[in-house]
């Protein structure tokens, strides 16, 4: 048996193991997590302050993350650690405002990349987003 | 349990031996491999030191290339590179890294020297630089006796050559490069957290046009791998490419992209991409199972000989086809989405 045959056999067994064992467990884990989230068995959701509007909640979360300029310092959209920010996303998801949630993500990323709030608002306007949505998510 | 893995090991060994080919390198081939390794090593080091997320992007390009090489490997041979060079059957990691280096140098230099050009304008420049370089590389591999084409490819090509390579390479290389460059760029947007503007109104017609171009071009380049049999005569547009099947892939890809973008607008680039792939896979796999069972889809002898012989349980579908579906569509989806993103984020 050459070293390449050995390598191929090992890879073959690893691939079989990954497909037959790891993948089903991973999919099962994802399904359980999805069901727990869906039917409320998961961790308690962070709460937004009562009656707080989206704009105010965003401003508060930006202030909490310590960035006065409005640019969010935390990394990509999936890694929101701040409870205030997490609460905004949960609220928007519950309300079914996924389009507005997408806008919030975009604004966070755009500000982080160095665009000014004015440039971000202009870009959104150019894509036909209503002024109410822009005003709610763009700082200033 | 141990007995099961012992049998799996034996199956792996039998498979490896069933796909034996000449791996013995000549002196010039070893010298060329050393040159490619040095070139790739230098590229990786330079990117790591000088470019933002340069090393990650290098591996992205290599990943895109590997997907393409894995999917299209039955179309050509890649022999005599030495036992150390092969990753899977006759796919060589040295060759994958060399291609990745070529792509990364092109992207980096064009992006640096044409920084103020919009992305859509830079894209043809990438291809204009890459295509001649790729043709020279291919000509060297042919001259060294490393590269060769399967009988199905030889039958499909005209026989005319230019610079020592078949003239069809001049179509194949830009298409192949367009797909891999798009894949690299799309995932670069993700790893570099590029802000991608969400669209309030989906441009369905534009999206259809891009999908049509993408699927059609890729189908033309991989056409020798499979025969589409028994479709209405009017539907054949080029060799055995049929409007019925290609049209179905175009519509499915187009719908997957637009529906995911509409209903999962808040997903990240990665989340959306996995959702596109999931939708497409769920549509294509049953179709492929039926097409193979009904004899409408017949894989060529070279493709069949590259199969390991394992089938999806209770079907006639080789496992390579199941892996091939997401690989094929990963490149097409990257191309379509990359173009949509650069047109929407000028």
B197 touches A: beta carbon within 8 Å: yes
Residue A73 has pLDDT above 90, yes or no: no
C-alpha span between B258 and B252 (Å, rounded): 10
C-alpha span between B302 and B324 (Å, rounded): 15
Report the candidate in A10, A12, A6 with the shortest Cα–Cα distance to residue B83: A6
- Regions of chain B where pLDDT drops below 70: 1
Name every chain B residue with its beta carbon within 8 A of the beta carbon of A11.
12, 88
Beta strand B236-238 with B226-228 is unpaired
Closest chain B residue to A74, measured at CA: B193
Judge: B197–A124 Cβ closer than 8 Å, yes or no. Answer: yes
Closest chain A residue to B89, measured at CA: A8
A5 touches B: beta carbon within 8 Å: yes
ipTM of the complex: 0.76
**Do residues B35 and B88 both lie within one domain?**
yes
The pLDDT value given to residue A70 = 45
Distant-in-sequence, close-in-space partners of B266: CB < 8 Å, separation ≥ 6: A93, A98, A99, A101, A102, A105
Q: Is B1 part of a structural domain of the chain?
A: no
Last residue of a domain, one of B194, B221, B255: B194
**Do residues B30 and B143 both lie within one domain?**
yes
Domain coordinates of chain A in residue numbers? 1-43, 54-137
Q: Are B261 and B279 in contact (CB under 8 A)?
A: no
Q: Are B257 and B336 in contact (CB under 8 A)?
A: yes
B113 touches A: beta carbon within 8 Å: no
B305 touches A: beta carbon within 8 Å: no
Residue A74 has pLDDT above 50, yes or no: no
CB burial readout B141-173, b (16+ within 10 A) else e? bbebebbebbebbeebbeeeeeeebbebbeebb
C-alpha span between B229 and B245 (Å, rounded): 11
**Do residues B184 and B219 both lie within one domain?**
no
A132 touches B: beta carbon within 8 Å: no
3-state SS class at B92: strand
Report the candidate in B222, B213, B238, B220 with the shortest Cα–Cα distance to residue B67: B222
Judge: B199–A127 Cβ closer than 8 Å, yes or no. Answer: yes
Judge: A8–B16 Cβ closer than 8 Å, yes or no. Answer: yes
**Do residues B230 and B183 both lie within one domain?**
no
**Do residues B153 and B302 both lie within one domain?**
no
- Nearest CA to CA, how far is B260 from chain A (Å)? 12
The pLDDT value given to residue A69 = 47
Judge: B5–A13 Cβ closer than 8 Å, yes or no. Answer: yes
Judge: A12–B197 Cβ closer than 8 Å, yes or no. Answer: no
**Do residues B341 and B288 both lie within one domain?**
yes
Judge: B11–A112 Cβ closer than 8 Å, yes or no. Answer: no
Q: Are B199 and B80 in contact (CB under 8 A)?
A: no
- Nearest CA to CA, how far is B6 from chain A (Å)? 9
B193 touches A: beta carbon within 8 Å: yes
Mutation target vs B (from A3, A5, A26, A89; most B CBs, 10 A cutoff): A5
Mean pLDDT of A45-62: 62
B13 touches A: beta carbon within 8 Å: yes
Last residue of a domain, one of B143, B162, B194: B194
**Do residues B234 and B174 both lie within one domain?**
no
**Do residues B261 and B211 both lie within one domain?**
yes
**Do residues B163 and B270 both lie within one domain?**
no
Name every chain B residue with its beta carbon within 8 A of the beta carbon of A5.
13, 16-17
Residue B268 CB-half CA count within 13 A? 17
Closest chain A residue to B16, measured at CA: A5
C-alpha span between B266 and B269 (Å, rounded): 9
Residue A48 has pLDDT above 60, yes or no: no
The pLDDT value given to residue B54 = 94
User: What is the band of A8 on the pLDDT scale with cuts at 50, 70, 90?
Assistant: low
**Do residues B102 and B176 both lie within one domain?**
yes
Residue A6 has pLDDT above 80, yes or no: no
Closest chain A residue to B310, measured at CA: A16
The pLDDT value given to residue A49 = 53
CA distances from B262 to B36, B256, B275, B329 (A): 45, 10, 12, 20
Mean pLDDT of A54-66: 67
Q: Are A54 and A136 in contact (CB under 8 A)?
A: yes
- Inter-chain Cβ pairs, chain A and chain B, closer than 8 A: 78
Q: Are B228 and B245 in contact (CB under 8 A)?
A: yes
Last residue of a domain, one of B143, B160, B194: B194
Q: Is B322 part of a structural domain of the chain?
A: yes
Q: Is B8 part of a structural domain of the chain?
A: no
Angle, helix B269-293 to helix B243-263, in steps of 10 degrees: 150
**Do residues B184 and B235 both lie within one domain?**
no
Name every chain A residue with its beta carbon within 8 A of the beta carbon of B194.
109, 113
Judge: B198–A106 Cβ closer than 8 Å, yes or no. Answer: yes
The pLDDT value given to residue A63 = 66
Name every chain A residue with its beta carbon within 8 A of the beta carbon of B83.
2-4
The pLDDT value given to residue B165 = 80
Mean pLDDT of A104-108: 90
Q: Is B71 part of a structural domain of the chain?
A: yes
- Domain of residue B267, residue span: 200-346
User: What is the band of A47 on the pLDDT scale with cuts at 50, 70, 90?
Assistant: low
C-alpha span between B150 and B166 (Å, rounded): 13
The pLDDT value given to residue B187 = 96
Judge: B198–A103 Cβ closer than 8 Å, yes or no. Answer: yes
B91 touches A: beta carbon within 8 Å: no
Q: Based on the structure, what is the number of domains in chain B?
A: 2
Q: Is B126 part of a structural domain of the chain?
A: yes
**Do residues B233 and B182 both lie within one domain?**
no
Judge: B200–A99 Cβ closer than 8 Å, yes or no. Answer: yes
The mean of the pLDDT values for chain A is 74
Beta strand B226-228 with B297-299 is antiparallel
Judge: B200–A8 Cβ closer than 8 Å, yes or no. Answer: no
């Amino acid at each position: 048996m050459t070293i390449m045959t050995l390598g191929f056999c090992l890879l073959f067994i690893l691939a079989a193991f990954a497909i037959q064992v790891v993948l089903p467990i991973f999919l099962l884990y994802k399904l359980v997590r999805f069901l727990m989230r869906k039917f409320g068995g998961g961790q308690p959701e962070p709460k937004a302050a009562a009656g707080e509007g989206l704009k105010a909640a965003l401003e508060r979360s930006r202030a909490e993350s310590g960035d006065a300029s409005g640019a969010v310092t935390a990394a990509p959209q999936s890694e929101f650690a701040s409870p205030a920010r997490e609460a905004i996303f949960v609220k928007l998801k519950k309300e079914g405002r996924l389009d507005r949630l997408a806008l919030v993500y975009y604004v966070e990323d755009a500000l982080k990349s160095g665009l000014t709030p004015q440039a971000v608002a202009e870009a959104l306007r150019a894509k036909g987003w209503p002024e109410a949505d822009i005003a709610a998510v763009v700082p200033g | 349990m141990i007995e099961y893995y012992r049998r799996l090991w034996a199956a792996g060994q039998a498979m490896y031996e069933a796909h034996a080919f000449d791996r013995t390198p000549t002196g010039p081939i070893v010298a060329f491999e050393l040159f490619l390794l040095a070139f790739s090593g230098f590229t990786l080091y330079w990117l790591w030191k000088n470019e933002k997320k340069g090393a990650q992007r290098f591996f992205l390009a290599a990943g895109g290339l590997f997907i393409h090489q894995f999917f299209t490997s039955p179309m050509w041979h890649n022999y005599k590179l030495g036992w150390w060079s092969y990753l899977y059957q006759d796919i060589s990691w040295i060759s994958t890294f060399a291609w990745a280096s070529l792509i990364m140098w092109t992207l980096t230099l064009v992006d640096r020297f044409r920084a103020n050009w919009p992305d859509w304008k830079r894209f043809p420049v990438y291809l204009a630089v890459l295509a001649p370089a790729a043709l020279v590389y291919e000509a060297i591999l042919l001259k060294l006796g490393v590269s060769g084409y399967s009988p199905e490819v030889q039958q499909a090509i005209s026989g005319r050559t230019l610079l020592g390579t078949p003239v069809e390479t001049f179509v194949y290389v830009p298409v192949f490069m367009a797909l891999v460059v798009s894949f690299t760029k799309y995932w670069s947007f993700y790893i570099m957290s590029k802000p991608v503007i969400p669209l309030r109104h989906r441009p369905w017609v534009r999206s259809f046009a891009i999908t049509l171009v993408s699927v059609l071009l890729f189908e033309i380049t991989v056409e020798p791998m499979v025969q589409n049999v028994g479709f209405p005569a009017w539907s054949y547009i080029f060799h055995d490419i049929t409007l019925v099947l290609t049209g179905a892939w175009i519509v499915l890809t187009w719908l997957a992209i637009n529906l995911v973008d509409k209903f999962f607008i808040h997903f990240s680039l990665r989340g959306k991409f996995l959702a596109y792939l999931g939708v497409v896979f769920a549509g294509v796999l049953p179709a492929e199972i039926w097409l193979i069972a009904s004899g409408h889809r017949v894989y060529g002898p070279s493709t069949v000989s590259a199969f390991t012989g394992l089938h999806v349980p209770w079907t006639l579908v080789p496992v390579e086809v199941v892996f091939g579906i997401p690989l094929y569509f990963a490149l097409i989806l990257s191309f379509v989405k990359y173009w949509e993103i650069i047109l929407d984020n000028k």
